[in-house]
């Protein structure tokens, strides 16, 4: 509101200036109007640069253009006084009742959507709202909202205190149907929401679920204590600064917090918090928290936290944490955690964890962990320090100890491999296929008269555990080792590695043996086999222990490559069972 006489303010002037201080513009007006301004430089920001283009305008019109209503003008003879224009407020109060029974409604939201001012009714349905008076008197539109009730609009005259009451009607009954419950998840329902938001703030969000506004920026100390007051939860900002914590509708820019950020809807571009970020919609961009990130929808970009990251619907990009990463939807990219990653839908990319990775559906990529990996369907690679497990393996399992799968269509490499059924390859000391290839062999060789071996795997590739002995006095010898083989229709080919004990553990020799065998069925679960063998034997020094073999292989001598490496040709003949 301005007060002025029809003297100096009505004089006509012409001013055209570009990026000049306000004081210079006022000096030019003084010269043309033949009067003097009286003002405090700091009060009118006299050093601020402005651009003015006014041709044959009144002094008041030019001043209005300069100050946009922030300064009041007072004409005093040959002086025109400029003073800061104090804001004026007025109050609107009243009661909100149920239109169907007349009962007072508590926790109903009453708000003005332009000034972003709101309040809630008390137990008696009473509200009191302080509104800013506009320069030009215009009606103010107030909206009454409450969950399960229709929104009601009240038109209020501006400029004076008044009482206005309203009755609001219940909303029409909702038709039940199948819905995606995650679509209607609210940040206020989470543990963080219940701890860091008051009951009135959570109720306000429910009441105003259909009202959202956009603003360029906001600052807050705590949720509800900031530039947008109690309506901060309904405002989407471009720049958001929360000194301790903030509760807003969403973000299209940058948000920084000393402790936590809580956003009801989508967040885009960048979000940083010392403790945690909580987003009720989608996150696109960079999200970094000292402790924890929780996105109730999906993530596209980078999510990094000092402890854990969780996204309800999945992510495309990167998840990094020291402890835990979790996603309930499809993931594409890298998930890296110091302890564990747990993804409940298809994963395309890389999962890396210090302890373990779990995927309850399909992993098409790489799982790498210090202890364990688990997947329903493996179409990539599992690498673990201890154990890998998958229901169906169409890729590669590599473990320091054991690999387990129900259906093997790929490759297993480990000390122990287990598959319920196999159409792939298991490479390890012990490879067990429950519905596969199992045989117990009893046979004789040119070196040892008595040998036992157990075959396990499938016909494509099986493993052998081998032991042999000669108990003859003066020609004792013992062997133990491991091998792999492949079975054809009537013959097999095997490669084995065995250690040969000849009375001294310090001089144990090593045999590498290539052998093939023709086999013939002689009864139910029984076959006879016979075939040639070629053996390479390495020993740095002969044992020559009394009572043990001194000549290898025994019936005849071996050929020498040098003093440490010998070779010979031999045989194996025996029976296989099962």
CA 438/CA 454 separation, integer angstroms = 7
Q: Which residue has the higher pLDDT, 506 or 178?
A: 506
Q: Where are the beta strands (DSSP E) in 434-578?
A: 437-445, 450-457, 462-470, 477-487, 491-501, 509-523, 526-538, 559-560, 565-577
CA 273/CA 92 separation, integer angstroms = 38
**DSSP for residue 557:** B
Instruction: Please spell the DSSP secondary structure of 317-351, one letter per residue.
Output: EEEEESSEEEESSEEEEEEEESSEEEE-S-EEEEE
CB 433 within 8 A of CB 457: yes
Nearest to 132 by CA among 63, 69, 72: 69
Across residues 312-320, what is the average pLDDT?
A: 96
CB 333 within 8 A of CB 314: no
C-alpha neighbours within 13 Å on the C-beta side of residue 183: 3
Distance of CA 320 to the CA centre of its chain: 8
Structure confidence at residue 331 (pLDDT) = 97
Least confident of 111-115, 172-176, 500-504, 559-563: 172-176
Render the burial of 94-104: b for 16+ CB within 10 Å, e for the rest: bbbbbbeeeee
Structure confidence at residue 44 (pLDDT) = 82
In the chain, list all ranges with CATH 2.40.160: 437-577
Tokens 């940040």 correspond to what residue? 187
Least confident of 169-173, 217-221, 482-486: 169-173
Structure confidence at residue 489 (pLDDT) = 86
Query: CATH for 8-84, among 1.10.3720.10, 3.55.50.30, 3.40.640.10, 3.40.50.720?
Result: 3.55.50.30
Structure confidence at residue 135 (pLDDT) = 61
Nearest to 83 by CA among 20, 41, 119: 41
Model confidence pLDDT, tens digit, residues 205-221: 888 888 888 999 999 99
Nearest to 516 by CA among 488, 547, 546, 475: 488
Across residues 115-129, what is the average pLDDT?
A: 93
Across residues 288-303, what is the average pLDDT?
A: 97
Task: Look at residue 424 and give its three-state secondary structure.
Answer: coil
Percent of the chain residues past pLDDT 70, beyond the cut:
96
Structure confidence at residue 174 (pLDDT) = 57
Q: Give me the helix-helix angle, 59-67 and 22-33, nearest 10°.
A: 170
Fold classification of 89-168 is Immunoglobulin-like (2.60.40)
β-pair type (140-145, 292-295): unpaired
Q: Which whole-number Å values give the CA distances from 253 to 26, 270, 284, 286, 287, in the listed order?
A: 38, 6, 10, 11, 12
pLDDT at 251 over 90: yes
Structure confidence at residue 181 (pLDDT) = 43
Across residues 388-412, what is the average pLDDT?
A: 96
Structure confidence at residue 139 (pLDDT) = 87
Across residues 341-346, what is the average pLDDT?
A: 96
Average pLDDT, the chain: 91
CB 467 within 8 A of CB 445: no
Structure confidence at residue 136 (pLDDT) = 62
Structure confidence at residue 287 (pLDDT) = 98
Structure confidence at residue 541 (pLDDT) = 80
Tokens 């059924």 correspond to what residue? 421
CB 270 within 8 A of CB 303: no
What is the pLDDT confidence band of residue 483, given thresholds at 50, 70 and 90? very high
Structure confidence at residue 180 (pLDDT) = 47
Nearest to 332 by CA among 346, 353, 309, 316: 316
Q: Which residue has the higher pLDDT, 178 or 174?
A: 174
Model confidence pLDDT, tens digit, residues 259-278: 999 999 999 999 999 999 99
pLDDT at 179 over 60: no
Alpha helix locations (H) across 59-143? Answer: 59-67
Structure confidence at residue 1 (pLDDT) = 36
pLDDT at 175 over 70: no
Render the burial of 165-180: b for 16+ CB within 10 Å, e for the rest: ebbbeeeeeeeeeeee
Instruction: Please tell me the CATH code under which domain 437-577 is placed.
Output: 2.40.160
User: Which pair of structure tokens corresponds to residue 121?
Assistant: 């009714």
CA 498/CA 519 separation, integer angstroms = 23
Across residues 231-252, what is the average pLDDT?
A: 94
Q: Which residue has the higher pLDDT, 115 or 386?
A: 386
Structure confidence at residue 282 (pLDDT) = 96
pLDDT at 184 over 80: no
User: Which pair of structure tokens corresponds to residue 422?
Assistant: 């196999």
pLDDT at 3 over 70: no
Least confident of 150-164, 181-195, 288-302, 388-402: 181-195
What is the pLDDT confidence band of residue 511, given thresholds at 50, 70 and 90? very high
Largest CA distance in the chain: 137
Least confident of 48-52, 118-122, 415-419: 48-52
What is the pLDDT confidence band of residue 458, given thresholds at 50, 70 and 90? confident
Instruction: Please spell the DSSP secondary structure of 525-555, one letter per residue.
Output: TEEEEEEEEEEEEE-SS----TTB--SSBSS
- pTM value is 0.71
Task: Look at residue 182 and give its three-state secondary structure.
Answer: helix
């Amino acid at each position: 509101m301005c007060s002025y006489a029809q003297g100096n303010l009505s004089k006509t002037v012409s001013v055209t200036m570009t990026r000049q201080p306000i004081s210079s513009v006022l000096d030019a007006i003084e010269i043309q109007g033949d009067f003097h301004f009286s003002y405090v430089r700091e009060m009118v920001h006299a050093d601020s640069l402005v651009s003015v283009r006014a041709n044959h305008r009144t002094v008041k019109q030019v001043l209005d253009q300069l100050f946009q209503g922030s300064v009041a003008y007072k004409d005093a003879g040959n002086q025109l006084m400029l003073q800061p224009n104090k804001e004026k407020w007025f109050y609107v109060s009243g009661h909100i009742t149920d239109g169907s029974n007349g009962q007072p409604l508590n926790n109903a939201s009453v708000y003005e959507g332009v000034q972003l001012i709101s309040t809630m009714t008390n137990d008696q349905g009473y509200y009191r709202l302080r509104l800013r008076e506009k320069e030009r008197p215009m009606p103010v539109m107030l909206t009454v909202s409450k969950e399960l009730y229709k929104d009601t609009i009240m038109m209020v005259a501006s400029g004076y205190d008044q009482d206005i009451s309203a009755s609001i009607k219940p909303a029409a009954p909702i038709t039940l149907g199948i819905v995606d419950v995650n679509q209607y998840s609210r940040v206020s329902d989470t543990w963080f929401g219940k701890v860091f938001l008051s009951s009135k703030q959570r109720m306000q969000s429910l009441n105003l679920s259909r009202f959202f506004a956009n603003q360029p920026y906001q600052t807050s100390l705590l949720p509800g204590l900031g530039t947008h007051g109690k309506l901060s939860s309904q405002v989407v900002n471009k720049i958001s600064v929360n000194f301790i914590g903030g509760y807003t509708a969403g973000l299209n820019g940058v948000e920084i917090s000393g402790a936590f950020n809580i956003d009801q809807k989508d967040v885009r571009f960048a979000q940083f918090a010392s403790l945690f970020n909580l987003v009720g919609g989608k996150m696109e961009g960079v999200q970094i928290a000292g402790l924890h990130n929780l996105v109730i929808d999906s993530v596209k970009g980078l999510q990094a936290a000092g402890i854990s990251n969780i996204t309800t619907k999945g992510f495309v990009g990167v998840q990094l944490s020291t402890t835990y990463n979790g996603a309930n939807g499809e993931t594409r990219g890298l998930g890296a955690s110091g302890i564990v990653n747990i993804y409940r839908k298809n994963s395309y990319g890389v999962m890396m964890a210090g302890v373990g990775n779990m995927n309850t559906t399909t992993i098409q990529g790489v799982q790498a962990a210090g202890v364990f990996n688990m997947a329903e369907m493996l179409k990539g690679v599992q690498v673990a320090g201890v154990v890998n497990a998958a229901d169906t393996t169409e890729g590669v399992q590599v473990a320091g100890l054991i690999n387990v799968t129900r259906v093997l269509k790929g490759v297993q490499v480990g000390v122990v491999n287990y598959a319920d059924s196999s159409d792939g390859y298991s490479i390890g000391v012990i490879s067990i296929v429950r519905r596969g290839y199992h045989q117990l062999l009893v046979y004789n060789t040119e070196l040892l008269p008595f040998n036992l071996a157990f075959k396990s795997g499938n016909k494509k590739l099986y493993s052998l555990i081998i032991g042999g002995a000669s108990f003859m006095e003066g020609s004792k010898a013992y062997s133990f080792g491991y091998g792999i083989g492949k079975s054809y229709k009537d013959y097999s080919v095997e490669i084995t590695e065995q250690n040969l004990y000849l009375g001294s553990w310090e001089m144990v020799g090593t045999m590498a043996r290539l052998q093939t065998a023709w086999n013939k069925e002689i009864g139910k679960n029984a076959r006879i086999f016979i075939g040639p063998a070629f053996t390479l034997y390495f020993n740095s020094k002969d044992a020559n222990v009394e009572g043990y073999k001194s000549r290898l292989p025994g019936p005849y001598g071996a050929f020498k490559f040098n003093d440490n490496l010998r070779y010979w040709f031999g045989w194996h003949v025996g029976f296989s069972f099962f």
